[in-house]
A and B are shown apart, each in its own frame.
Chain A
Amino acid sequence: MNDMALTDMTSFLERHDHWSRRVRLAMISASFAVSAILLVYGMRTLGSLAALGKLWFPIVAYPLFTAAFWTGIALWARTRPKPPGGRFLMNADDARNVARVANVGFIFVLGLAAVMIASQVGTALEIIGTLKSLGATGEWVGRTILVALGALSIYFGNAWPRMPTPRAGDQKPATQTRYKRLGGWWCVIVGLGMALPALLLPIPQMIYAIVVTSAVTLVVSAIGVLMYRSAMNSPSAS
């Protein structure tokens, strides 16, 4: 490849990684802080530890899920191959795309953090009964969270196909192009599958649709990852 006028994206990516780590850490800390507040509040209002059984989900599940999710992402990121010399040198088009997708990814992470914390607080308020005393129902909390998750997924999926495409034959450009496009489309479809039922359907049908969307998402994503790995390892793929 022509190595004239390459842009060094190393410092940009390091800065991006640094801020992403900060957001992840802040998100986990905030989730644990909300859990601690809920625990103290629950013990004071509900009286006993046994009564806290009502609040176990927002106290325990959210911070554990958050910590496990981001630890998984961090471990996966470590397995990514680094370029020779550790410098991320790329042409102008690739550099622009890397910056674009990284920025979209950062907004996605920030949005997901906000949605998760809001969801934890909303679930707790619903259980405690604060929403009812305010004349509101938990319905809008759930709907808003689903719409926000859907919108984030659509936003991220839309940009995903712009990830730099490898050109060297040994990196299987045809396979990577295909799966990159499919990945983007899949994120957008999943986002629509979350946002549209939350916007349009009554609660029982919405729950059913979201369960179906989640199950299909898990199964199709797992199959997609396996197919991608198989295609990348196949000697005949281009």
Chain B
Amino acid sequence: MSNVFKALADPTRRSILHLLKARPMNAGEIAEHFAISKPTLSAHFAVLREAQLIGSEKDGKNVIYWLNASVLEETLLAFAGALDLNMKSSRAAAPTRKPAVRRS
């Protein structure tokens, strides 16, 4: 289960899972939605695969990915997304302090 939490902790990986809710996609189709390098994306796929949240199959030069999450894991995905949003909004609302200026 710790693998699942680790996988869901990252917003990019959560976005990949949201994309795969619609249908199985190949790596190229998924990559079109992100402005990150292919090796980074591959690393995300590896984490999701390790957590068994996605399945994959080689199809010629492509790799097809599909969602493999149970209902509980989808619920955790929704919670993780909601918590992340809340954290971001509370961070945005928090007053920012100016760094103290030292006088010598």
Contact = CB atoms under 8 A, between A and B. Distances in A.
Interface in B87-103: none
Contacts of B74: 161, 181, 185
Contacts, number: 62
Given A158-B71, A161-B69, A177-B23, 12 more contacts: A1-B59, A2-B59, A4-B58, A91-B57, A93-B68, A96-B52, A161-B71, A165-B55, A165-B67, A167-B59, A185-B74, A238-B23
Interface of B: 21-24, 52, 55-60, 64, 66-72, 74
Interface residues of A, number: 26
Contacts of B55: 93-94, 97, 164-165
Interface of A: 1-2, 4, 91, 93-94, 96-97, 157-162, 164-165, 167, 173-174, 177-178, 181, 184-185, 188, 238
A234 B44 CA distance: 35
Nearest to A5: B58
The main secondary structure of chain A at its interface with chain B is: helix
12 contacts: A93-B55, A93-B57, A93-B68, A94-B55, A97-B68, A157-B71, A158-B71, A162-B70, A165-B66, A173-B23, A173-B24, A185-B74
A18 to B, nearest CB: 27
A4 B57 CA distance: 10
Contacts of B23: 173-174, 177, 238
A231 to B, nearest CB: 13
A161 to B, nearest CB: 6
A93 to B, nearest CB: 4
Nearest to B72: A158
A158 B72 CA distance: 6
Contacts of B56: 93
A184 B59 CA distance: 28
Contacts of B67: 161, 165, 177, 181
Contact of B57 (A1, A157, A160): A1
A167 B70 contact: no
A184 B66 CA distance: 16
